[in-house]
Amino acid sequence: MGTNTMGRRIQLGLIGGGPGSVIGETHRIAARLDGHYDIVAAALSSNAERARQAAADLFIAPERAYASWRQMLDTEAARTDRIDAVAIMTPNDSHHAICMLALERGFHVICDKPLANDLAQARDIAARVKATQAEFCVTYCYSGFPMVRQARDMIRAGELGEIRQVHLQYVQSYLAHRDLPAGWRTEAGRAGSSLVLMDIGTHAFHLGAFVTGMDVMRLCADVGSAIPGRTIDDYVSALLRYENGARGSLWVTNAAAGSEHGLSFRVHGDKGGLEWHQEEPNRLIHRRQDAFEQIITRRLGPATSEGAQRSTRIAIGHPEGYLEAFANLYTEFAQRVAARMGGCPVDDSPTLFPGVSDGVKGLAFVAASVKSMATGGWQDVERV
């Protein structure tokens, strides 16, 4: 997974992701997996006592177990041994304020998706990133799977020819029961303008853009609930029109009873197609117009693309999955931060890990989808 050019680990502070948080533990495992980080500071809960106890459970020194994120950012900024970066895993409606202050205090930032609660906030964060020249990662973690990167490399190498169709699905059963689960996601306004679009819709949208390298220019969306009487969005289907004229579709729901995870893509060009399912992440199906179907599997060695090789840790026969994909983003982010802090040249070319512009594009997709539902027609997706 590469080397750290600074010769030391990145000093990381955590915001959110405390007791009861599934995504918090995922972030911590991802940060530790390749040995690039020391987790040395944290504000893990909005409850001060719970925050201190949770930090103690992670063996964080008492003086760096903070009662609030503001206290952590202000105090750490003044320390001689200050943290290098922060990882934010709080509810959506807090991302903007935390990101803005973290950047102002001079920290690099890893932010859980979505970037913010609306497009205006996302653009605000992007402007601050540009002004500060900070490294910024939005954890669209599925882009870290080796076979996703294999697909990306094959498409860029022209193996599918001209892309003509892109079909994206993310089908869960999290909200299939009539009674909504407790938590901030189902509280009015906290998840943004649409729960399903913000929570998992942006994941599917980003996966399509990451694999194809193309932006959606226009869309026509049906957004709402598949459960009669429910006011929270749990369903979206959309027709997509890409920049090269390719057509596509997106079906995302967290109210499909019996489904587990259900994230997948199918991309077809004039020479063939690729298909990938996150529930079988180490297999990529390559269908060629004039040849037999091929199953490409994750493995070390020259048989796979450069992107797949750099994202693979374990020899053939041993599966890798979600945590490893998440860790790929953390490791690539650490390498960029280390290079920048070590005075090494860092160009402005797009990073392999999702950056702030990917976060802005996700919110532009959400805004266009909500507007399309309101107007009942096609909408342009704002350019980023």
- Give tens-digit pLDDT for 291-314: 999 999 887 667 788 888 888 888
CA gap 320, 307 in Å, rounded: 15
Tokens of 50: 């719970």
- Section 68-80 average pLDDT: 97
CA gap 208, 204 in Å, rounded: 6
Is the model's pLDDT at 6 over the cut of 60? no
**pLDDT tens per residue, range 187-226:** 767 777 899 999 999 999 999 999 999 999 999 999 999 9
Considering the entire predicted model, what is its pTM? 0.94
The pLDDT of residue 283 is: 95
More confident residue, 222 or 231: 222
- Section 328-357 average pLDDT: 89
The pLDDT of residue 375 is: 97
The pLDDT of residue 305 is: 87
- Strand 85-89 and strand 10-16: the pairing is parallel
317: left (phi over 0), alpha (psi -120 to 50) or beta: left
The pLDDT of residue 5 is: 47
- Section 302-327 average pLDDT: 85
3-class SS at 251?
strand
| Residue ranges matching CATH 3.40.50.720 in the chain | 10-141+329-353
Rounded to an integer, what is the distance from CA 224 to the centroid of its chain?
Answer: 23
Count CB-CB contacts under 10 A for residue 196: 28
Say which range, 1-5, 53-57, 351-355, has the weakest mean pLDDT: 1-5
Task: Provide φ and ψ at 244, rounded to 5°.
Answer: -90, 5
Say which range, 4-13, 80-89, 211-220, 249-258, has the weakest mean pLDDT: 4-13
- Section 152-162 average pLDDT: 97
Residue 88 buriedness (CB in 10 A; 0-12 / 13-18 / 19+) = buried
From 16, 26, 13, 27, select the one nearest 92 (Cα to Cα): 16
- Section 325-350 average pLDDT: 88
Residue 323 buriedness (CB in 10 A; 0-12 / 13-18 / 19+) = middle
Q: Tell me if 139 sits within 8 A of 50, measured CB to CB.
A: no
- Strand 247-253 and strand 163-171: the pairing is parallel
| Residue ranges matching CATH 3.30.360.10 in the chain | 146-313+361-380
Q: How confident is the model at residue 82 (pLDDT cuts 50, 70, 90)?
A: very high
Q: Tell me if 166 sits within 8 A of 243, measured CB to CB.
A: no
CATH assignment of 146-313+361-380?
3.30.360.10
**Own/partner pairs, 233-239, CB within 8 angstroms, 24+ separation:** 233/194, 233/195, 233/196, 233/197, 234/175, 234/195, 234/196, 235/196, 236/194, 236/196, 236/197, 236/201, 236/369, 238/369, 238/372
Report percent pLDDT > 70 for the chain.
Answer: 97
Say which range, 44-58, 85-99, 254-268, 344-358, has the weakest mean pLDDT: 344-358
CA gap 297, 286 in Å, rounded: 11
For domain 10-141+329-353, the question of CATH label 3.30.200.20 is answered with no
Say which range, 158-162, 176-180, 211-215, 230-234, has the weakest mean pLDDT: 176-180
The pLDDT of residue 99 is: 98
The pLDDT of residue 301 is: 66
Rounded to an integer, what is the distance from CA 191 to the centroid of its chain?
Answer: 16
Cα dihedral sign, 256-252-155-33: negative
CA gap 284, 211 in Å, rounded: 12
What is the chain's mean pLDDT, rounded?
93
CA gap 33, 29 in Å, rounded: 6
Tokens of 70: 């503001």
From 18, 64, 19, select the one nearest 38 (Cα to Cα): 64
Tokens of 224: 């709402």
Tokens of 29: 């495992």
Instruction: Let me know the angle formed at the C-alpha of 277 by 249 and 196, rounded to the nearest 5 degrees.
Output: 50
**pLDDT tens per residue, range 26-49:** 999 999 999 999 999 999 998 888
